[in-house]
Each structure stands twice: as structure tokens, then as C-alpha cells.
Structure 1
Amino acid sequence: MRRFHVLFISIVLWIPFSGVAQNNYISHTFDGKQLIVCTDSGEYVLSALQGKAFKLSFANKRVYSNKIYAPVERGVKELRLTESKTELILSSAEVTVHLGKSPVSIRFDYRDEVKLTGLEFAVSGDTTIYQYRMKSDEKIYGTGARALPLNRRGYRFQCYNQANYGYGMGADFLNYSIPLIMSSEKYMLLFDNPARAWFDIGKRDVDRFSFESLGGNATVYFFADDSYDKLVSDYVKFTGMQPMPPVWALGNLQSRFGYKSQMQTENVVDSMLQAGYPMDAIILDIFWFGPQIQDGVMGNLSWDSIHWSEPERMIRKFRDQGVKTILISEPFFTKKSKHYTYLDQHGLFGKNADGTTMTLPNFYFGEAGLLDIFNPEAGDWLWQQYDALKQQGVEGWWCDLGEPEIHPDSMIHVNGKASEVHGIYGHNWTKVFYDHYRKEYPDERLFVLGRAGYAGSQRFGLIPWSGDVGRTWSGLRAQIPVMLGMGLSGLAYMHSDAGGFASGTKNPELYTRWLQYAVFTPVFRPHSDSHAEPEPIYYADSIQDIVRHYIKLRYAMLPYNYTLAWQNHRSGEPMAKPLFMVCDDPELSANDSIYFWGDNLLVAPVMRSGTGAQKVVLPEGTWYDFHSGELIEGGRTIDVPVTLSDIPVFVKAGSFIPMISPVQSTDDYKTDTLIVHFFPDPERKASNFIMYADDGHTFGAYEKNQYELIDFTYKNGVFTVKNSGYNYPGRPQKRLLKFVVHQPDFEKVKINRTWIKPEIKEKTTSFIVNLPANRTNEMQTR
């Protein structure tokens, strides 16, 4: 019924482009920073904000635009205004806005290049609409998590966070929508409106874009820049930078639905470690607070003492093993839970129109109330429950069902109806964690998983995942566009339940391919329902050997991956990038089955059963096979033979890839010994890579000058290692570096006036140096 209901609404809301009631200019005022234009339908307000955003809002007696949800608030810039009979022209240093008078229609130019024309605002009944004409060859990306091609043009779908159980490729709605688009014309539009809404990107009319919402905040922000990297960076800086996660977030985070007792959980952790799998966390699903699923005690937020008799001892044991404990919680409180009465009596649930608690009788887990997360008193109360668990040693948090999964439009929150604020529920839930950590644990990094949020949730440290994906090949194929789409929307840590969560039977081939892919994603977290074990120890030895190798590779790549986390924190650039973002090649815009992991690695996961050869599009340039070291010319599509042991991964020529010997836990991660792989570019003499290091757990280490940068450079036969930065706990005074050059190019290396003979193999040349970690060091080769 829900799907038929949504389809009906979307048909009613569609309004032909030519049929929109037009706004005609009456008058305007301008104070040097803000232009207010009065029309016969309402009032437009335009301003340029500090940074690179241009703000446009519309308001009248029925429409408001005074809310700020996604942006980090900032001041406005000085502007210039000129006027003619037909238009007002508003200019900042780089952006010019042309506002036509009759009817009112808006054009955005960036550095004299027309980016967007004919932007109009209209109201039809309870629906508000922003719309304009796209260029004929324009591609539209973003919009959050969608199991659709990266180019969303030709689709119509809801912008509304909602669960999609067992989905696969083709699902146009998932748990995390973002009211943001990025154009191939290198501009972005952010509609700062969390209300129920729809995107129509050339579905009804091939050249028409529209954002249609059921009321809500009628404000849109425009960004433009010279490259995709800069554009994403502008947007992320505007909505808030992602804090550095704890380094253990990049390790193996083992999960399932769900571990039912302390004994079972301890057995799994011990067995994983004994089998030689690196591991950094164990994640406990709903059974930690009760044995029942339906009609249970969701909302207790305390241990089921029958099945978890000594949780603090268990947590300490895991911590001594390098394994952190993460607990799930939900915003729903069933009537059988011990907190329901208190929350009901204190008015901390979402309400009916008469002020009474709205109960949800059809909630899967039992009749329940939904916490009004927007109520500061509710947030403070919730934090008290979390803090008590933190005192027991819990180190990470898992926020589930935070769309919220059931959220009637008529529910009343302290800040409005559910239909208007639905999109920021998960956003505010994450903010509760972030604000209290900053107040009570200011030096500690937050780890919080959430499957729903809003534009800008990254600034609260949210680690999103892609929901209850089907355990199918289609579910696996959906993950690349979901991950890349979210990265372009500012959420760089999107990842999946590795192995697949729902439906489908246990499939060793699918499991292996999914975990191989997950090694090259922001978070590695195997998870599944009860029909297929997510832990590798329950698979055949042949599968275990492959998976163990890849998990160890994940740990070996910690220096590279942690640097990607820093790059994201510093500039907002995604960790995983679509081909067109790195190569800026329009021909690659349709490819969403291959992606860059950072700027140096190209990953082509195997996503179909029985694949014996994989077609891989290699961009222009020279590439190395990551596994074999084979040198390959790009600018073409190649067939790569594959076995179950590996997926195709390629290294861009000229790359440094710093690595370590695998460790059992990130507790053991140190940078005093590095294995630095270098892949020379035959066409380029100079190469460099800047690696980031800090203590891995201090919040704001980069801003507090508690970090170092290690700049690896190769030019004209000379390797240079330049250290800069500051002291931090654990910073090594010396570093042992093993350089592995992926060509047997030279016979001698000069170190401190002494020539040494490197180790020369068929495809590599290696040499080891022990260097002070506080100065520039050079190694000459010949």
C-alpha cells in the first residue's frame, strides 16, 4: 500500500513547467549585502554568504524560509547591484545572479559562464516547487543514497528517508536522502528543506528539473567552482567538515543480527582471533537488551542480565584483546520497556494534535512511542542512558531505525510536524552524541553508525551505512553507486553490510566478493541476518584463506587509508570517487561499476557470479596491476582474467602507497616502520604523496597541531622524505623505511654519502633506510 500511495501523490504533485503561476516584479530593496524583491506572489531574498554559497529564499503568508538546517551559519558578503527595465543583476566576486522581472526568473553565472537558467519558484496547494531547465547534455549527480546510476537524469523519486528491506540495484529510495544535486556543469544546489519531497530530473519532461515538497523551508543554496573536487569541498565546508574518526574505525568491525548472549559473543571473538583475523570491534544488535524481537523491550537501554551476566567484564576482556564494543539502540520505546512510562509522563515522545503521546500500534517490535529527539530535554535524558553505558566501557554507538522507520506525517514534534522535519531526525540524533561528547569528553573521538541523516550530518561525525541490503548479487552491485552518490553529497564514510544482510541463502562466492570489495571502502563491517553467518570462521578453509588475506591487506593499508580520512577531514573530498571526478572525463560519467580509492588506486570489484574475466575501463595514463605489478597502458578497456582469490585493482603510475606489516588490532598500529611502495611513471619525472599521522584517538588533533606530515617525493632519480608538523603522543623519533620500487630500474642507492646495493627482483627494487623523523632526508639512485 505504501508504494501505491507514494505513486498517487507524485502524480498529483506534478505540474507542467509551462503551467506554473508566474511571479511578477513589484519592487526591491538593497542594503549592499541583501537583495529583497517583492512580487505579486511573495518575497525573494538573495545574498552571498562567506565561503562560496549564494542563498535564495522565497516567502509569503503560506511559505516560510527562515530555517537553517544544513549550513553552518556564517556572515554575508558585500554585493553589487545594477538594474535595467527587464532585470536586476546582483554580483559577488565570482557569481552573478540575473533576476528577470516579468515573470521573475533567475539565472546563475560563474565567472561569466552561464551555469543555470530559468530558476522559478511556485506554490500549488500545499506543494512548493523549485524548477528550471537543464541543458540537453547536462548530467545530475548527488541526492544521497540511491541504488541507481550515478547520473540521476531521467528519474523521479522521493527525497524522504525510508527503509527498503532486501533491496538491490534499481531501488530509488533508501534510508538516507539528501536534498542536494551536483551538475556536470560544475554547480550544486542545496535545498535546505527536510520535508517530504520529490526530485523530478527529466522524467516527465526531458529537460526539466524540479524539487517539489509538501511545504517546508523554501531556501536553496547555489555553489559553483572550477572542478568537482573544489565544488564538493565548497559544499562540505559550508555544511561542516567530517571530524577524524578514531583510527580503529578503519579496522575490521564484526557484526551480526545478532549475538544473543555473552557466551556466544566471547566465543566468536576468541575464535576470530585464534583463526588469525585482525579485528577492532564487536557490534551487538538488539539482543543485548532483551531476548525477544517482537513484543520485546526495545528502549530498555540496559543489559539483559540473564544472557549477559557480566557485561563489564566482557567489555574489559575484549578491550585487552584490542576489540572495542559497540551497542545498537533505537529511538522507539515499546510499552513493555522500563522507560516508556517516564517518557510518556514527561512529554518526551512525539505527540498527537491534542498533546498526548502518539503510540505506534503497528510497529514491528511492539506498540511503541517515538522519542522526540528535537526536544532538548529528551536529548539530555537519552545521553544520560548512553553515558552510563560509556562508563561501563562501551566505545562506539549504532543508531538504528533513525529515518525514523515509522513516522506518521501527523506526529507533532517540538519543532513542527513530522512531515516537515522527518529528514533531520537522524541528523539531530547524531547531534545529541556529538554535542555531549564535545562537552564531557572533549579530547575523545566519536564513533556513531547511523543509517539516516541529513545534509551536513557529517559535521557530527556520522558514519552512515546503506541499510538492509539484500544478500544478492544485485544488492552487491548497488553498493558502488550508493557509496559514490553519498560521497558526492558530503557523506564520505558510506559503506554496506559486507556480505549482504537480508534474504538469500549462504553464498560463499558472493560473500568473498563482497568482502574483497569492502576492503576498499571507508568502513569494513561484515553483517547479516540469521540466515547466513557474517563471520569468516564459519566458511570453508579455502574461503577463509582469501578473506583473511584481504582483511590483513586492509590493515596493511592503514597509512594510506588513514591519510584518505585526513584528506576528507581537511577538504571534504570523498575517500571513494567516481572516475569522472578524478579524470574529469565526460566519457567516464556513466561508469559506476569502477571507482577510485583515493586518487591512486582504481578498484573494479567482481559483482557477478562465475566471472572469469572482468572488463575494466582504464583511464588515460600508465597503470600497474596491484597484485602482479604488471605495467599496463590506459586509455582503453581491457579484459582482466580473475579467479576467486582476487578482484582487479590498479595503481596509477607515479603513486606512493605507504603500508605496514599487518597488525592484529589498530591498538598496535605505529608508523615507526613503513613499507613504501612506489610505482614509477615512465612519462613523469616527479611524483609525491603526503602521508598523515597522529595518535589516532585525540579529537581535533589536526587543529591542535598534534600531527605530522610525511612527504614522499621522487624526482630525477632522487627520493626525498620530508617530515613536518608537530609532536603528538607516540610520534617516532626515527623511522625504518623499506622502499619497494615496482621496477628494477637502478643498481645502487646513495644514503648519507654511502652507496648501497638494493635487493633486485624480477619486477621490484627494494632498499631499507633508517632515518630521523624530524628532518628532510634524500636517497639518490643510479
Structure 2
Amino acid sequence: MLHSATPILRSADRPAVPAPKRLALLVGLLAASLAFGPQAAAQNAARTFLGWQSGPDGVLQVTTSDGRYLIKPYAADIVETSFVPRGQQDTGTSHAVVLAPGQVAATVKEEAGRVQLATGGITVTVEKKPFRISYAYKGRPLVAEKRGYGHAGKLESIEFALDPDEALYGAGARAAGMNRRGQRFTLYNKASYGFGKTAAQMGYGIPMALSSRRYAIHFDNPQSGYLDFDSRHDGTLRFETIGGRKTYQVVAGDDWAQVMDGTTRLTGRQPLPPRWAFGNFASRFGYHDEAETRAVVERFRRDDIPLDAVVLDLYWFGKTVKGTMGNLAWDRDSFPHAEQMMADFSRQGVKTVVITEPFVLTTSKRWQEAASKGVLATGKDGKPFTFDFYFGNTGLVDVFAPRAQDWFWNIYKELKAGGVAGWWGDLGEPEMHPSAARHAAGSADEVHNIYGHQWARLIADGYARDFPQERPFILMRSGYSGSQRFGMIPWSGDVGRGWGGLQSQVEISLQMGMQGQAYMHSDLGGFAGPVLDDELYVRWLQYGVFQPVFRPHAQESVAPEPVFREAATKALARDAVRLRYAMLPYNYTAAFDNSRTGMPLMRPVMFEEPENDMVPVGTIATTYLWGSDLLVSPVVEPGATRQEVYFPKMAGRADSVWFDFYTDKPHRGGIVETVRPVAQHIPTYVRAGAFVPLAKVVHSTSEYDGRELELHYWHDASVNEASGKLYDDDGHSAHAFEDGNYQLVRFSGKTRDGRLEIGLLPQAGARAAVVERRFALKVHNVGARPRAVEAGGQALPFTWNAERRLLEVSLPPLRQAPLQVAVTL
């Protein structure tokens, strides 16, 4: 049924903001404060409400004088709104969204001059006069369209009104400050060579805005444009694009965990990477030949530094940087026995990763093949489009064309058959992408931002089809919303080798994790520039222990591998690598959580404490949470002897305590404290009540079996009940959890009546073999020698270190039955 109303015309919007900066800011704040009130003005002076109808699919259609709004509920906390201008059809498809709409009950009602669509969480209110669309979550106002859809010059836009105190995050990978409000970001993926403390444009321009009010708006359109986070200081969030869909999704939640869950349900979860991806990588630009590559791997073994992968840059297919890109086959002069080399590495637990690029130079060995098979982007004449860039005269693989996808995948498949275990996709913005190039899916500017996304997809699809039981490793410099669902591992690009480069990395990774890309990481030590700074190198690697992928990489002018650094630096680097391996069970469990819930591995402090009247928690990027229980504060200044750390208050606890991970010194939550860094490690803390499983250090993750672990628990009187878990599987099967081929151990802690009770509950999937695990339990912060330790009614021998306040006890083997440990304090 169509419900109509008489069209009402509105007067023009508010007058322009005066020029002086202070007055402009005041006017902007006033405009934003009115956004949810009766003075919020019409979204568009010429837009009037004509009528509405709702269908059995739950979609609310609102007809206006200039088009139609289609409002679709996806879930209780997710709703989509599309505007279709008059005379157009909503024929666009999403490259980001995988969640199907209509899976939640929604009601539509009309009353008091408005139409409302309501789920169990989000309510969309369409005011008739003046016309306005606003969103609320469980009665809490979120955001409202301001002018809504508009068209000026060559850009179309969608505008929203912001609250004056609202902080904004998102827009992809940038180094622009944690709160990005006040800036306008270009949505055009572009590398930032040698960047330092700031970088306004990088390889991941994601059209998503997240708010401190705990909602996200995802603009479902990949075309080139801008995302304006109130750069005019008039209280406006503005998405601008050259064309395409006028569609966005609003995701809301009670807390940040729910927002992360919603955004990754919408665009897809990151599958669990292979376990070896959590080990140490040997990588540089680049290893020139087989002998050099073998020598490097051997050096790691000789120096007793664990290693899981070696990465080959472009010399694997050519002797020179220029002129050979596109060969995509082993240079047999330099790598005469590549397959044997990779097999030898594999027996040592070392995987081989090779670089590939989407450019096929006219001087490469595959040019004629690529041109004749029609796998390249074309010009308006239909012939392969060629252009010059740094590496030579080139064409570009059209990853959107099915025949090109098959051609490219068959190359990967052949290399995989020879022993390649992982893929590095470089220059995938693409680094050079002339507007005149045409692809099967549209012009260069229309598809530019999804080029890397589609490239990763064709590799992931190839694995799903031809190697369905394997987890791919896909390292990419560029991507888009939802790229995580292809198993893409992003990195921040060619960062400068300097302290500024290190300083920007936490912010970049935190922001990307909030947008679903939880494995964003950096070239440890920095990439660009002939800088030999051992302190910088060590501090970067120490930070790398607590970032998603541990991969030192740099130009070869200064060796990025720890085995080539001087003795003192090598020793500190070795300690960092070994700690990374010791933390494998904790890190792998955090990765499992990400694959199930979307919670990133690196989490902003505000995830723990969303609001604080005294401390701007929403702007903190110097300290962050690693997984659910560790708090990390990297050292990013040379010669640092003092460092300020904010210890967040823990949700739901009146008293919050954090312990130094290395010394067990307690720190009270809710305060900023000045700490003194030491050379051996960066400041790291663990929450009271945390369970942290640690492993024996192995030469590579291929030797890891998780059968003998340390289980650390940080006891404190402020924690009456605690929980944690350990996740484990074979480390390589693509759907281990879904197939029931996994093991879980759930930990619990309870303090009452002078007793600490620690429970271990083993669980396993239907197809999992029974695993016997032995835990060496280490309880921290035990102030006096316990009177007894028991398990299953039997007394257990234990040791207690008075100086360290540490209780240690070896537990009975854990198989299928739960184990309850009682410590009489």
C-alpha cells in the first residue's frame, strides 16, 4: 500500500558559516548541536516526502520528490539505506557486503508526522515535514542525515549531522591522529613511500566512519572520492564520490565488541591464518639468488633465532629491478634449483613466500602471452592499454575479467606445485593506474579502490576451489572493505626507517583493526632509507612481538635480519623473536577470537574504557591492548628514560589492577603513570585475573604441538571470578573449527573463603583426537606461602618464591575430564 502526503517545499538551508576561524568553529558546533532537534532543517531544500510502502521482505520504501529511499534491516543492529534518484534504478552490487538482509523481524508504523522502521535494536525514523532520516539504537540517538544525497559539480555526496563532542575514526589506513575529525580524506588507494609520523593517503582507503558514540557508517561504494570528517567544522560527515551507489549501512552496538561483531558480520570475518604466519620472517629487498637465500636461512639456524618463512622479492624472476616485472617464473640462472631449495627449507619448517605484481611489462617474457590471451586492461580501442612507470612500459592484468582471473590463478597454481607456500601481492593499489584504462567491471577510476580486493579474491577463490583444505597466506599492500574475508594480510607499505615511521604504526594498525582488517602490520625496523640505528631497530622489533605479523623487511642497504646485526643488537632481537614464539598459544587464541567475533588483535584503550571525563581515552594510540589481556606501550622515542602510560579502568570492576608482565609490579587502573623503560623490552602489562598460556620456544612453528605449556594466572583480591581459554588445531586446515577438528581448554578462576580455585575444562570438536596436555601452573601475586595445593583430592607439590610472590605447580595431565585446582591461601 502506498501512503502519500502533500508535497511541502522548504526554504534554503542555514546561511554560510562566517570566515573567522573561532566564529566558524562556534557556528559549526551550534549547527551540530541542533542536528537532532526541530531546527535540523530539511536534508535538502527541494526534497519533500510523498509516501511510503513496506513489503513482505521487510524493506521500507520512501518516495520523495527527487527519488526513492530503500531501507533494509539486516540484523537487529544493522540497517541499510539506499537512495535512488528519480529516473535511476538500484542495479549496483556490493563488493563489500556478504551478510544477507531480511534476517531479522522489523516493524513499520506511521504516527505523528513520521514513519518508523524498528528492529530489536535500531530504529530508523523518517520525518515527513521537514524531511529527515535519523537513526537510534535502543532509544539512544546515533546519527541523522543532514542534507542527505546531493550532487554538486562532478561529485555526488551523502551528508550526516554530527554531535559536537563526537570523535571519528576510520577512512582506511592513515597516520592522521587517532581522532580523525576535522580532516578530509581522499578515497583513492595510493602508496606513501618513505612516510613517517604522518601519512594522509595510503593503500587502504576504506569508506567507513566509526564514531565514539559506538556506531559505524559503511558507505557501500568503492568509486574514487572523499570521506570528509567535518573538515569545514560545521558538524558534517560527508561521503563524496564520482558516481555509483548511494548506499550505506549503519551498524550499532552496546559496546565496541558488538560494533566489531556487526561490521565483520556485514563485510565478512577474517579466516584464521596458517599457524606459521605467527612466526618470524626473513625478508628484504631482496635476495638475489639461491645461494644467498640458503645462506640467510642457515644463518638463522646457526644463530639460534627461530624462523618460519623466507620472503623473496622481485629478484626471484629477474636479475634487474627494471624490465623484468611480469615474468612470473623462476630466473633459472639465479635460482637453478628453486624447487629443491623450497623443499629443503620446508623440511626445516621454513615456508617460501614470493612477490607477485599485477603489471606485465612489454619487455617481460609473458608480454606476448598476456596480450594475445586478452588478460590485460584495455584502452578505448579495445587493445591492451600500455603506459610507462618506474619499472618500465607495462600493461595491467584485468583481475575483473574471468579469463584474466583464470590466467593469473594458473600461474599461482603452477608455482604452488613447485613449493611456494605464500603470496606477496605488491603495487596493488595499483601503484600506477591511468584513468583511461578500462576493465571488465568499469573504468580505472571506478574500480581502482577494489583492484587489490579483487586480486586477493581470485587467489582465495582459487584455494577454495583447488585446495579447499588449505589456508592461504596473502600479503597485500592494498585492499577495500571486506578484504579480510579473503584471508588478506595487509601491511602499511614502504615506511621510512626512522622514529617517525615507528610512531605512526600503532595508530594505523588500531584504526585498520576497527575496520575489520585485524592483521595490519609494518615492516619491522622500517623499510626506506639507509639508516643504521640499532636502538630504533630493537624498539621496532620489540613492538613487533605484539603486532599481528612479525616480519622485519627493508632495503638491503642496511640488513633487516637480526642475524646480520652487531652482537648486542642481535641478542636483544633474539629475545624479542623468542618471546614472540613463547606467546604463540596466546596469540593463536586471539586470532581464533578474531575469526569468530571480529575483535581485532590490537585494540584501542577505549575498547576497555569507552569514556573518561579526565582522560581522552578515544585519542590514545601510544598504548593499546594486545588480545584481551595484555596492555602494551611501545617505546617510540630515542633514548627514552620516561614514558607515560594510561592504565584503563576495567569494565565492570570498581578496582582495576594491571601487573608488569616482567616484574609483576602492580599498577592501578584509571590513572596515567610515568614508567621507566628498560633496554630489554617495552612496557607491557597484564590485567589482574588474566590467564596467559605460554609455550616452549621452538625453531619454527612446525615443531609446536601445544602439549606442554605454562599457564600463567595473575591473582588479585580485586578479582573474584576470572576466565580465559586456549584454542588449538592442526594449524593449517582451512575449516578446522567448522569441521570439528579443534581443541579448546577453558580456564576459570574463583576466589572465596581464603581459597583460590582454578578450573581447566577441556573441550574438543567432534572430529578432534584426544590430546593430553601438561600445564605448569604459575600463579602470580601470591603474597604468602599457600598452606596447600590440591587437585582431584590429591595434594600437589609446589614451590613459592617469596621475593617474586610466585606460586608454581605442575598439574596432572589434562585429557578429557575437567581438572579443578584448589589453592589454600
Please say whether Structure 1 and Structure 2 have the same fold, judged by a TM-score greater than 0.5.
yes
Q: What SS does structure 2 have at the residue aligned with 1:341?
A: helix
Match of 2:256 among 228, 251, 254: 228
Q: Which moved more, 1:19-28 or 1:126-135?
A: 19-28
1:252 and 2:280 aligned: yes
Match of 1:96 among 108, 118, 123: 123
Q: Which residue of 2 aligns with 1:4?
A: none
Match of 1:450 among 465, 468, 476: 476
1:617 and 2:646 aligned: yes
Shift of 1:549: 0.7
Q: What SS does structure 2 have at the residue aligned with 1:616?
A: strand
Q: What SS does structure 1 have at the residue aligned with 2:216?
A: strand
Q: Which residue of 2 aligns with 1:603?
A: 632
> Structure 1: how far apart are the matches of 2:722 and 2:309?
36
Matches within 5 A, 1:378-393: 378-393=404-419
1:496 and 2:522 aligned: yes
Q: What SS does structure 2 have at the residue aligned with 1:690?
A: strand
Q: What SS does structure 1 have at the residue aligned with 2:523?
A: coil
1:676-725 Cα deviation digits (max 9, x unpaired): 11111221122121111111111111111111111122213112111012
Q: Which residue of 1 aligns with 2:757?
A: 718
1:630 and 2:672 aligned: no
Q: What SS does structure 1 have at the residue aligned with 2:811?
A: strand
> Structure 2: how far apart are the matches of 1:708 and 1:676?
16
Segments of 5+ residues of structure 1 without an aligned counterpart are: 1-15
1:58 and 2:98 aligned: no
In 2, are the aligned partners of 1:506 and 1:531 still within 8 Å (CA)? no
> Structure 2: how far apart are the matches of 1:170 and 1:64?
39
Q: Structure 1 counterpart of 2:186, which letter?
A: Q
Q: Which moved more, 1:252-261 or 1:640-649?
A: 640-649
> Structure 2: how far apart are the matches of 1:756 and 1:374?
63
1:364 and 2:404 aligned: no
Q: What SS does structure 2 have at the residue aligned with 1:344?
A: helix
Shift of 1:160: 1.7
Shift of 1:43: 2.0
Shift of 1:639: 1.7
Q: Which residue of 2 aligns with 1:652?
A: 687
Shift of 1:73: 4.4
Match of 1:30 among 26, 29, 54: 54
Question: Using a 3 Å threshold, how does the CA distance of structure 1 residues 588 and 514 change in structure 2: closer, same or farther?
Answer: same
Shift of 1:80: 2.5
In 2, are the aligned partners of 1:63 and 1:216 still within 8 Å (CA)? no
Shift of 1:421: 1.4
1:270 and 2:298 aligned: yes
Q: Which residue of 2 aligns with 1:237?
A: 265
> Structure 2: how far apart are the matches of 1:510 and 1:457?
32
Q: Which residue of 2 aligns with 1:752?
A: 792
Q: Which residue of 2 aligns with 1:137?
A: 165
Q: What SS does structure 2 have at the residue aligned with 1:49?
A: strand
Question: Using a 3 Å threshold, how does the CA distance of structure 1 residues 423 and 22 change in structure 2: closer, same or farther?
Answer: farther
1:775 and 2:801 aligned: no
In 1, are the aligned partners of 2:74 and 2:99 still within 8 Å (CA)? no
Match of 1:316 among 328, 339, 343: 343
Q: Which residue of 2 aligns with 1:47?
A: 72
> Structure 1: how far apart are the matches of 2:647 and 2:100?
42
1:483 and 2:509 aligned: yes
Q: Which residue of 2 aligns with 1:82?
A: 109
Shift of 1:126: 2.7
Q: Structure 2 counterpart of 1:722, which letter?
A: L
> Structure 2: how far apart are the matches of 1:769 and 1:27?
70
Q: Structure 1 counterpart of 2:429, which letter?
A: E
Q: What SS does structure 2 have at the residue aligned with 1:54?
A: strand
Q: What SS does structure 1 have at the residue aligned with 2:588?
A: helix
How high is the TM-score relative to the length of structure 1? 0.95
1:340 and 2:367 aligned: yes
In 1, are the aligned partners of 2:216 and 2:252 still within 8 Å (CA)? yes
Q: Which residue of 1 aligns with 2:358?
A: 331
Q: Which residue of 2 aligns with 1:549?
A: 575
Shift of 1:396: 0.5
Q: Structure 1 counterpart of 2:329, which letter?
A: S
Q: What SS does structure 2 have at the residue aligned with 1:292?
A: coil
Match of 2:430 among 404, 428, 438: 404
Q: Which residue of 2 aligns with 1:9?
A: none
Q: What SS does structure 2 have at the residue aligned with 1:470?
A: coil
1:716-771 Cα deviation digits (max 9, x unpaired): 31121110123667752343434343435424211333323411112111011232
Identity of aligned residues (%): 36
Give the total of aligned pairs: 765
Q: Which residue of 2 aligns with 1:283?
A: 311
Shift of 1:151: 1.2
In 2, are the aligned partners of 1:694 and 1:731 still within 8 Å (CA)? no
Q: What SS does structure 1 have at the residue aligned with 2:223?
A: coil
Q: Structure 2 counterpart of 1:462, which letter?
A: M
Shift of 1:504: 4.8
Q: What SS does structure 2 have at the residue aligned with 1:200?
A: strand
In 2, are the aligned partners of 1:624 and 1:630 still within 8 Å (CA)? yes
Q: What SS does structure 1 have at the residue aligned with 2:686?
A: strand
> Structure 2: how far apart are the matches of 1:557 and 1:640?
24
In 2, are the aligned partners of 1:58 and 1:65 still within 8 Å (CA)? no
Shift of 1:418: 1.4
Q: Which residue of 2 aligns with 1:640?
A: 675
Shift of 1:35: 2.0
Shift of 1:65: 5.8
In 2, are the aligned partners of 1:472 and 1:504 still within 8 Å (CA)? no
Q: Which residue of 1 aligns with 2:8?
A: none
In 1, are the aligned partners of 2:693 and 2:709 still within 8 Å (CA)? yes
CA RMSD of superposed structures (Å):
1.8
1:158 and 2:200 aligned: no
Shift of 1:553: 0.5
In 1, are the aligned partners of 2:737 and 2:765 still within 8 Å (CA)? no
> Structure 1: how far apart are the matches of 2:221 and 2:91?
9
Q: What SS does structure 2 have at the residue aligned with 1:770?
A: coil
In 2, are the aligned partners of 1:179 and 1:455 still within 8 Å (CA)? yes
Q: Structure 2 counterpart of 1:376, which letter?
A: P
Q: Which moved more, 1:64-73 or 1:520-529?
A: 64-73
Question: Using a 3 Å threshold, how does the CA distance of structure 1 residues 42 and 228 change in structure 2: closer, same or farther?
Answer: same
Q: Structure 2 counterpart of 1:25, which letter?
A: F
Q: Which moved more, 1:349-358 or 1:647-656?
A: 349-358
Question: Using a 3 Å threshold, how does the CA distance of structure 1 residues 418 and 102 change in structure 2: closer, same or farther?
Answer: farther
Q: Structure 2 counterpart of 1:340, which letter?
A: W
Question: Using a 3 Å threshold, how does the CA distance of structure 1 residues 477 and 58 change in structure 2: closer, same or farther?
Answer: same
Q: What SS does structure 2 have at the residue aligned with 1:83?
A: strand
Question: Using a 3 Å threshold, how does the CA distance of structure 1 residues 449 and 240 change in structure 2: closer, same or farther?
Answer: same
> Structure 1: how far apart are the matches of 2:182 and 2:775?
54
Match of 2:237 among 205, 209, 229: 209
> Structure 2: how far apart are the matches of 1:272 and 1:22?
69
> Structure 2: how far apart are the matches of 1:143 and 1:515?
27
In 2, are the aligned partners of 1:132 and 1:208 still within 8 Å (CA)? yes
Question: Using a 3 Å threshold, how does the CA distance of structure 1 residues 696 and 209 change in structure 2: closer, same or farther?
Answer: same
In 2, are the aligned partners of 1:65 and 1:219 still within 8 Å (CA)? no
> Structure 2: how far apart are the matches of 1:426 and 1:566?
25
Q: Which moved more, 1:538-547 or 1:515-524?
A: 538-547
1:641-677 Cα deviation digits (max 9, x unpaired): 1232221001111111100111110001111101011
Q: Which moved more, 1:714-723 or 1:56-65?
A: 56-65
Q: Which moved more, 1:463-472 or 1:626-635?
A: 626-635
Q: Which residue of 1 aligns with 2:594?
A: 568
Shift of 1:339: 1.6
